[in-house]
Amino acid sequence: MNEPTVQMGPNFIRNLIEEDLATGKHDMIITRFPPEPNGYLHIGHAKSICLNFGLAAIFNGRCHLRFDDTNPVKEEQEYIDAIKTDIRWLGFDWGEHEYYASDYFETLYRYAVRLIDKGLAYVCDLTSDQIRSYRGSLTEPGRESPYRHRTVAENRQLLSEMRAGSYPDGSKVVRAKIDMASPNLNLRDPVLYRILHATHHRTADRWCIYPMYDFAHGQSDSIERISHSICTLEFEDHRPLYDWLCEALEIYHPQQIEFARLNLTYTVMSKRRLLELVTDQHVTGWDDPRMPTLSGMRRRGFPAAAVRAFCDRIGVGKSDSVIDMGVLEDCVREELDSCTPRAMAVLRPLKIVITNYPEGRSEEFTVPKHPKYPEMGSRTIPFSREIYIDSDDFKEDPPKKFFRLGPGREVRLRYGYIIRCDEVVKDPTTNEVVKLMCSYDPETAGGKLPEGRTKVKGIIHWVSVPHAIPVDICLYDRLFTEPNPTGVKDVDYRDHLNPNSLEVLTESYVEPGLQGAKVGDSFQFERLGYFCVDSHSPTSDKPIFNRIVSLRDTWAKLQGEG
């Protein structure tokens, strides 16, 4: 596939790579994206994907896709397939360089044996709770395990028996022998291997011991000759262990570099919490359009180019920060504005009968698909005696500066005529407005204004009743009401779920030109926002449209008013 043009401004990692190439430290840049296949990718992963694949593209190198599949209990083929789909959707490809940590299980096992032979690792019988207790704290040194001084022969034998399945889960681990008094807790004899009797998605039941992430990560980087191992900032304290293992094993030593991860307001970025939202059915699945997952954003209608632009806009730094959701939505609007055809839709219909328009007659207005780009062509909009407008565009007792329709008021129909509301028809039982009787000025078609006629301020959208296409509309909003759902002490983040994050409208209509719109097709519904055909839309005649974003950041405005 053709990779997208990479937009990436100067940053400290790019500068470091340029220096490494200039000094001859590396003659080829090889990066990697190493996801764990235990969930779907989210917008935070997009930043890492764009950075790793982008740097490789800028410097004519390559980026490996390597699945860190070292925990068979939580990993599924579904996640692997979804991850590959998401990366390709973003516009990147790894070619023939698809790898798995499980490719290296035999090599990693030999590395563990090598550490034992050098007296740098041992088999420990302490439980996980005991290991935690022995580790000490930031102010107190740890205590040595009573099994720390086993002989090389004994450790070799025990490791062999662990591999053969002689011991139950949790009964033994392999630990590095480093320094129980180190100020870095990650160097206090970290666990390298644990026993886990579970079927692996690739190696089946050939293994019952699995390497820990800290052991598999750096060694896999080394095997693949990664030049720059780019990680998020939480791995900075793990870098001394990364370096120690490469040096102790006397293998090729990649350079680990950390950057600040992406934090976004009004959502959560922990895969554990995202999984909870799915399993507890607070959302409909990983691809729910309210989720920060790439599959959710794709289904909602976010363009991949907008996600890449967002990652470039926020930049790459060394300090954690929180990015406002509005920045992402602005990138989406900017991308959609340039490429999305216009259409008219009525979300909450109110019928209008134009009493002086001949019954049985209809006409068509030819209008541009995009007002800024005539090369996109034109579309035709039918007009008839009965039309729908949005109920929000009418008020019986309009307030000051309400320039839309009201009793005795005039308004222009977008691309059509000026109409005047002459009569309001109500339901006798509920007293709700059910219909408006209006008249039109036949001299005002298509924006015309006869000499001497007063100009009207309001312009509203509409659709012709006999030509309208019925649709369902999903109005998606922020998933949480709090900018930082996990930041309120002693309050469960789920308590901040937004009860109004989804509104489904089942009696909406769009202009007939949208008949046959395909899954993923996007449109700007004039005056309303950007919408796309949902991937879960039925094959029947009533499609589902998702609101991608509004035309402006109405959320920020509402929060300010509140």
Q: What is the pLDDT of residues 126-152, one digit of tens each?
A: 999 999 999 999 999 999 999 999 999
As a whole number, mean pLDDT of residues 389-393 equals: 96
Q: Is the pLDDT of residue 562 over 60?
A: no
271 catalytic residue (yes or no): yes
Q: Is the pLDDT of residue 260 over 80?
A: yes
* pLDDT for 555: 44
Mean predicted lDDT score pLDDT of the chain: 94
Pick the CATH number of 264-339+470-562 from 3.40.50.10420, 2.40.240.10, 2.40.40.20, 2.60.40.10: 2.40.240.10
Q: Per-domain residue ranges for the chain?
A: 123-212, 264-339+470-562, 343-467
Cα end-to-end span (Å), the chain: 48
- Local structure of 504: helix, strand or coil: strand
pLDDT confidence tier of residue 3, bands split at 50, 70 and 90: low
Question: Under 8 Å CB-to-CB from 210, ≥6 apart: which residues?
Answer: 70, 71, 72, 105, 193, 194, 196, 200
Catalytic residue among 261, 273, 395, 414: 261
**Where do the DSSP E strands lie in 338-392?**
342-343, 345-346, 349-354, 362-368, 378-384, 386-390
Calculate Rg over the CA atoms of the chain.
31
364 catalytic residue (yes or no): no
* pLDDT for 139: 94
Same fold flag, 264-339+470-562 and 343-467: yes
Tell me the pLDDT tens digit for each residue of 27-80.
Answer: 999 999 999 999 999 999 999 999 999 999 999 999 999 999 999 999 999 999
* pLDDT for 9: 82
36 catalytic residue (yes or no): yes
Q: In the Cβ-directed half-sphere of 171, how many Cα atoms lie within 13 Å? A: 12
* pLDDT for 540: 67
Pick from 162-166, 321-325, 390-394, 464-468: least confident: 321-325
As a whole number, mean pLDDT of residues 216-228 equals: 97
Catalytic residue among 18, 36, 144, 334: 36
Tell me the pLDDT tens digit for each residue of 415-474.
Answer: 999 999 999 999 999 999 999 999 999 999 988 888 888 889 899 999 999 999 999 999
Catalytic residue among 32, 47, 66, 271: 271
Please check whether residue 527 is in contact with residue 512, taking contact to mean a CB–CB distance below 8 angstroms.
no
* pLDDT for 4: 61
* pLDDT for 539: 67
Check whether domain 123-212 has CATH 3.90.800.10, yes or no: yes
Q: CATH code for 343-467?
A: 2.40.240.10
Percent of the chain with pLDDT over 90: 90
Of 276 and 539, more confident: 276
Tell me the pLDDT tens digit for each residue of 335-374.
Answer: 999 889 999 999 999 999 999 999 999 999 999 999 999 9
As a whole number, mean pLDDT of residues 514-522 equals: 92
Strands 386-390 and 463-464: antiparallel
Q: Is the pLDDT of residue 93 over 50?
A: yes
Instruction: State phi, psi for 272 to the nearest 5 degrees.
Output: -65, -45
What's the predicted TM-score (pTM) here? 0.92
As a whole number, mean pLDDT of residues 513-520 equals: 92
